[in-house]
Amino acid sequence: MEEVQRHSVHTLIFRSLKRTHDMFVSNQGNLPDIDEKLEARRKSIKARDSYKLVFDRVAKADQSKKIVNGIVGGSGTTGAIQAPEPLLAITDGSANARDNHLALAEANNKTSDTPINNSLVLAPGMRTTSGTSNVQLIPKKAPTIPKPSWHAPWKLSRVISGHLGWVRCIAVEPGNEWFATGAGDRVIKIWDLASGKLKLSLTGHVSTVRGLAVSSKHPYLFSCGEDRQVKCWDLEYNKVIRHYHGHLSAVYSMALHPTIDILATSGRDSTARIWDMRTKANIHTLTGHTNTVASVVAQASNPQIVTGSHDSTVRLWDLAAGKSVCTLTNHKKSVRSVVLHPSLYMFASASPDNIKQWRCPEGNFVQNISGHSAIVNCMAVNPDGVLVSGGDNGTMFFWDWRTGYNFQRFQAPVQPGSMDSEAGIFAMCFDQSGSRLITAEADKTIKIYKEDDEATEESHPVNWRPEILKRRKF
């Protein structure tokens, strides 16, 4: 029996590449020429798909600008000014004000033979000097900034250690009795929320566990990791009962739909995938992002799926059609975290440049929340309107959701014996009551924070300075 000669992996890969090259090299000369018309049409279709909303808004803005300036068309003559809706003049909104507005516009059209260079309309009680078109307008009221709500400061209450690698993800059980964590040691650990004691360790992943989700309707725990695997664990038997195959690279995030039995996952292959929880079928592959999809969230109302990606965009998806309905391009850097507000119809996205708030269903921009000087890895928000963000350098910022006011910030303490560079916060999550905050960190620990019961508005007043906010926002 002949002994088979063994080759290194490098040699085998090189031989495979050479065989592939030799097989297809003869086809290179047979490729057809590029059709410029088809290429131009392809680009226009792609542009309309990604930026349709932008094109429509620009067209509407141009149209309204023409109406305001009184440009209707025709060479050598100025068209009649049509009364704009709503009124350009500052009026009290009464019927008399509207009649005055229309009468003045009509009189201007009849008596003036020279081109009209000012389309502003007088409000009742205003005067102009004859021969000039200067109009004195009532000064606009300065925008008012609401005072932020008072929130009690948060403090560290417990540190839990047990993982042998970076802790990367957290999920709290709907009954609020326990929570699960996944880490770089490839183990999923389940902890008692009240005592912080370890209840169970689940092994099965062969690489870092990056995402966890607990079902509120079934005794199932879902996990995903850098080994491209998505698993469903039956918590009655503590073993894997389903695998969801399809991702081509590491899976970084997952979310369960609150009302339908479907699961959303996203990862380094630039896609988000929608799975039927029971049949393991890949219902949709949501394509459109051009880089790692770092975060995916699901909600019952439209848009049901929202994703944030390292290509600096946030996309809102139509779950029925499996298509992107809106692409938010306001961020300048990678979006690593997206979080839904538990009661308001809003969500926030985090990037090193800013945290941005958006209003559903169309993704209307609400406000910037700035202050972090590091990569923001994770966020969490509770029903009281406390938004927390965690940075790669271990900083934690607490914000008032409504106003974006930063009422507390601190550096998370590093576990003794760890290096200062291991201060990063990778994941955070409030428990079901919103009174405890759980963080997963690079020093291999899990930290639990709670509100300071002794704090009052007198001991920790709101340092509210609206003049600074005005300079920042307006």
Instruction: Name residue 156's amino acid.
Output: L
pLDDT profile of the chain (474 residues), mean per 10: 71 87 75 81 84 82 77 46 44 51 50 43 45 53 73 94 95 96 96 95 96 95 96 95 95 96 96 95 95 96 95 95 94 96 95 94 93 91 95 93 91 80 90 95 94 87 65 42
How confident is the model over 261-307, as pLDDT tens digits? 999 999 999 999 999 999 999 999 999 999 999 999 999 999 999 99
User: For residue 275, what are the β-bridge partners?
Assistant: 263, 282
Beta bridge partners of 172: 179
Distances (CA, A) of 43 to 14, 47, 51, 311, 325: 37, 6, 12, 19, 18
Task: Output the CA torsion sign for 198, 200, 201, 202.
Answer: negative
Residue 97 falls inside a structural domain: no
Q: How far is CA 123 from the centre of its chain?
A: 44
Q: Is residue 151 part of a domain?
A: no
d(CA 186, CA 72): 69
What pTM does this model have? 0.69
CA distance 157 to 32: 68
- Quick check: is 365 in a domain? yes
Whether residue 239 is contained in a domain is answered as: yes
Query: What CATH number does residue 368 fall under?
Result: 2.130.10.10
**54 falls within a domain:** no
Q: Which residues pair with 397 in a beta bridge?
A: 389, 409
Q: Judge whether 27 lies within some domain.
A: no
| CA 372/CA 391 separation, integer angstroms | 8
User: For residue 137, what pLDDT is reported?
Assistant: 58
Are 233 and 221 a contacting pair, CB within 8 Å?
yes
Give residue 294's domain range.
Answer: 162-451
Alpha carbon distance 58, 65 (integer Å): 11
* Residue 327 included in any domain: yes
Number of structural domains (the chain) is 1
Residue owning tokens 């507000």: 341
Predicted confidence at residue 265, as pLDDT, reads 97
| Residue in the structure block whose two tokens are 């490098």 | 10
